[in-house]
Each structure stands twice: as C-alpha cells, then as structure tokens.
Amino acid sequence: MNVAVRLGDIQLEGGGVGGHDAGATLVRRLLRVFPGAQVIGPERRSGAVDVVPLDQVDGSRTVVVNMDVIDSVAVWQELAGRCERPQVMNLVWWNPSRYTRTVDVAALALSCALFPTFCNSERTATEVRELVASWTVPRLAERARIAWVNLGVRLDHVRPRQEPPVPVVLYPAIYLSDRKRPDLFLRVVERVAARTPIRVEARLHESHLVTERAMALSRKEWAWISPLTASRESYWDALARTTAFLATAEEESYGLEYVEALVAGAVGIFPDRPWVRGIVPEGYPFVYRTADEAESMLLRAVSSPAACRAEMDRAAGGDFAAWLRARHDDDTFDHAITARMMEWFGVGAPVPAA
C-alpha cells in the first residue's frame, strides 16, 4: 500500500512542502516516515514531493492520511467511486474544540467513529473519544479505533544555547487569534518591559502581520515583529537565544511551539490550563492563574534564567531537558504511527519494539 497525505491549505514551494506551522511540519514528517508518500494537491506534478489530485488517487493501493478530518466521509466517497474498499485514516493534530457548530461537531464525531483516527496527544485523543461517545450511535462508538502519541520534536535540530545581551521574550505562536489571547500577552510583557530591559520577538504568519494587534505590538520600542523564519535552521538558531516565552492560549491540542522552545532551553511561563499538564511535569514552577502572577514569573525568568532552569530541573526530578527529551522525541511519534499504519492497513513492515 502507498501513502498519500491530504492537508487542504498545504503550501507547495520549490518542489517541496513549504510553511512553518504545525500542519506543514507534520506533513514533512509523514513524508520522511513513509518514503515515497505523495501529497494530495490541486494538480499533478513531480519533484522532491510527488503531488497528485484526489480524483487521481488509486484508492485500491493507497491509504489517504487525511488531516482535514471533518471531510473524511467526502474523501472516502470520492475514492469509492473508483475502488471497492477505500482506505482513509484521520490525523487529528489540532484541538477538537475548535468546532462549535452542531453540524461540524457531529461531522467530526462521525468521521472519527468511521475511520481509524490517530491523534497528536493524549488530551486530543480523550476529546475525540468523548465526541464519538456523545455524538454517534453505540454501534459505531464501540468500534472506533483511536490511538495517540505526543507529536514530539526533532531533537537533532536543537542548537547550543547563546545567551543574548538583552533577554529575549518570545510570543510562542504564529497567529494572533483570540484563542491565543495575545491581548493578555501584550499586557503582561508591557508591564515587565517597564521594569527591566527586554526584547519581545514575534514571528507571525503573513495573514496576521498587518492586523491591528500586530501593529499595536510593533509600535513598542522593545518589540520586534517579523514574518516567519526562512528556514528551520534559522528558526532553531533564534530559539537558541530565546530567554523565555509567555504562553497565554486558552486551548491547545499539543503545543509544538512550546515544546520546541523548552527543548531549546527557554524558560516557559504557562497558564493554569489542562493542556499544560501534557507538556510539563507535575509541580512545574511557572504556571500562573492571574496576570499578576504571569508578570512576576516572567520578570524572574528574564532576570534570573539560570535559577529558573534549576527550579525546572528539580520539578523534573533533576534534569528537565532529559525529561523533555524522553517524552517529546519525535522518534516515538514515528514509531507509533508506523506501527498503527501496519496494524490498521498493512502499510510497511512491523516495527521492532522501542
């Protein structure tokens, strides 16, 4: 069986997959894990990545990994017009709570009940199971196949630390959407900047560079706003000199940007939200409930980063970096998704135990 990956807003650049968001990163990872895999796109073309339109996919020989999960039924129907048994797998890499309208929620639940579903974190898998149980009939819910593993990061990308002369505070997202609560981020960093010199950096998707929120942040003399970095190498170079980041999001399915920054050595300040428990150890010292607490923690992080990292080490039993690497290594993800593809569809060869 072949593998074809489908992501509706995929960017194809220079014969490969462009973009720096979690979706594009995940597509590239799947192409690495499954050599010879194709990308489903608007028109056929060959290159470093083979692109094929959905209406030309051979459903009898191909497993379609659909990252636009809500329309997997439509994908199956397209393939079923040309083969007897289409093979579709859902890949849920975002928070299911993004859908609030009844039709969307019901469609998502039905999709995850009908097709094998692989999730990017335990939290996401739990939400998916709850949706399937609540929104579908027992006959479907009881047969649902749902698996998960933490998405993880490429540990070989990590660069040696480079402490900056002025502490760097990262806005740890590429969007300024309401769910990320950028107004809270701005309010807190503005207070900290009034008390000590800092440089706030935000690298945003082009669609958010010209928003009112981006303009408000860019007017601050201590803030630096730019488009996304040109390469993964420059992205990791920037993380290596990041002192701290302030997370403010209400919900996250996994939090790839946060894990990458933590692995690079930044001190992470997190809101007291359930999603945070999937990223850091119990007793992690920098979890805030109020803006005042966030300000106090961020001020400590930029004033005494070494002391803060020592506290993080203690929370992880002695070595926070090792704790992260053991739980967020993308090798674990690669192994898990390969094993599930073999179990569900017979793709590839059995993977030896990790």
Tokens encoding 203? 């690298």
Question: 75: how many CB neighbours lie within 10 A of its CB?
Answer: 23
Say if strands 168-170 and 146-148 run parallel, antiparallel, or are unpaired: unpaired
Which pLDDT score, from 0 to 100, does residue 348 have? 67
Which pLDDT score, from 0 to 100, does residue 354 have? 42
- Give span(s): CATH 3.40.50.2000, the chain: 155-327
The one-letter amino acid code at 9 reads D
Distance CA 27, CA 10 (A): 9
Backbone angles phi, psi at 107, to 5 degrees: -65, -40
What is the tens place of the pLDDT at every residue in 231-250?
778 889 999 999 999 999 99
- Give the residues of the chain that fall short of pLDDT 50: 349-354
Question: 61: how many CB neighbours lie within 10 A of its CB?
Answer: 10
Q: Which fold is adopted by the domain 155-327?
A: Rossmann fold (3.40.50)
Which pLDDT score, from 0 to 100, does residue 25 have? 84
Up-side HSE of residue 222: CA atoms within 13 Å toward CB?
Answer: 18
Which pLDDT score, from 0 to 100, does residue 23 have? 85
Which pLDDT score, from 0 to 100, does residue 351 have? 44
Closest CA to 70 of 94, 87, 46: 94
What is the tens place of the pLDDT at every residue in 259-306?
999 999 999 999 999 999 999 999 999 999 999 999 999 999 999 999
